[in-house]
Amino acid sequence: MTPRRTLLKSAAAAFALSLATPALVQAKEPIPIVATFSILGDMVARIGGEHVAVTTLVGPDGDAHVYQPTPADARAVSTADVLFVNGLEFEGWIDRLIDASDFGGTRVVATTGIEAIPFEEGDDHHDEHGDDDHAEHGHDDHAKDKHDEHGHDDHAGHDHGAFDPHAWQSLENAVTLENAVTYVDNITAALAQADPANAADYYKNRAAYVAEIEALDAELLALMQALPENARTVVTSHDAFGYFAARYGLTFEAPIGLSTESEASAADVAKLIVQIRKEKISAVFVETITDNRLMEQIVRETGAQIGGTLYSDALSGPDGPASTYLDMMRHNATTLSQALGS
């Protein structure tokens, strides 16, 4: 028997050993990971399992578009081996947070490889309003941040907010079968690289997760295809459901644009009210991350009903109906189906 095994005879001795030799224990500890928002954090936790300790910056019901990072966030980023971000301009504050921290790990853009939906200028209020905001904001960012080090992927070749960042809102994509699976593949590859000893476990978790994603995608397609053709237009607060719309055959209208940073103008709201009346849109959905007074006003003025609550950019708390990414997708589809199918 080796001296070490003798020491491990009792739990107390093992604890003493763990205090005395942190390096030995550290090798078995989960690797520190940061994910920017709850949906991404859940995906990382599914792939990483027991091997990762995930800190999520923007928690349940939080709005990542307008998030203000805290000193605790900077500390979490400083100690992270891997930082997962959505990209596509979703986290406008991430470069400043990284600059304010002592981050020496790998930054992974989870949407890399996804065929992003371009922002349709000209058929949205966004080009009339909000442009000034975005131009100023964008220039500031570009001047201050070190884009040659970080963020090449999400800044090169297009203007601020030129693509819809909400790519998690589709489980799959009719053409390339990507979206959620692309997130999962990017996460799996990054974890396997950061922690090669457990790579086999990450790929095993990936396979189980992808099977669930594919099964749920088929379930959602069937549910949405069962809706009457003339009951597939819905109204939400902000344009978060472009990928869902493209995959599952619905049309979403929203008074606020792609980011909750912008505000709906009176003219936009009036136009939407006219459209709801003209097209006899019967259901308006509230979101957990946005102020719902605007939607309540729209409901009062059109006679439409509140069809339910959709989770756009954040999960619910652990006791809510959308505490995981897959539960969120199922909840949204079920809520839409119940409101539109009746």
Point out which residues bind Zn ion (CB under 5 A). Answer: 240, 313
**CA angle (264 as vertex; 155, 260 as ends), nearest 5:** 40
Strand partners, 32: 53
Residue number, 88 or 240, with CB nearest to Zn ion: 240
What is the smallest separation between the CB atom of 67 and Zn ion, expressed in angstroms? 11
Residue number, 67 or 84, with CB nearest to Zn ion: 67
CA pair distance 304, 199, nearest whole angstrom:
51
Pair 223, 273: CB distance under 8 Å: no
CA pair distance 100, 109, nearest whole angstrom:
19
What is the smallest separation between the CB atom of 264 and Zn ion, expressed in angstroms? 14
Residue number, 51 or 166, with CB nearest to Zn ion: 166
Query: Would you state the structure tokens that stand for residue 144, as one six-digit string?
Result: 């201050």
What is the smallest separation between the CB atom of 284 and Zn ion, expressed in angstroms? 17
What is the smallest separation between the CB atom of 220 and Zn ion, expressed in angstroms? 20
What single letter denotes the amino acid at residue 117?
I
What is the smallest separation between the CB atom of 38 and Zn ion, expressed in angstroms? 13
Query: Would you state the structure tokens that stand for residue 41, as one six-digit string?
Result: 């954090």
Residue number, 37 or 202, with CB nearest to Zn ion: 37
Residue number, 62 or 307, with CB nearest to Zn ion: 62
Residue number, 116 or 240, with CB nearest to Zn ion: 240
What is the smallest separation between the CB atom of 287 and Zn ion, expressed in angstroms? 8
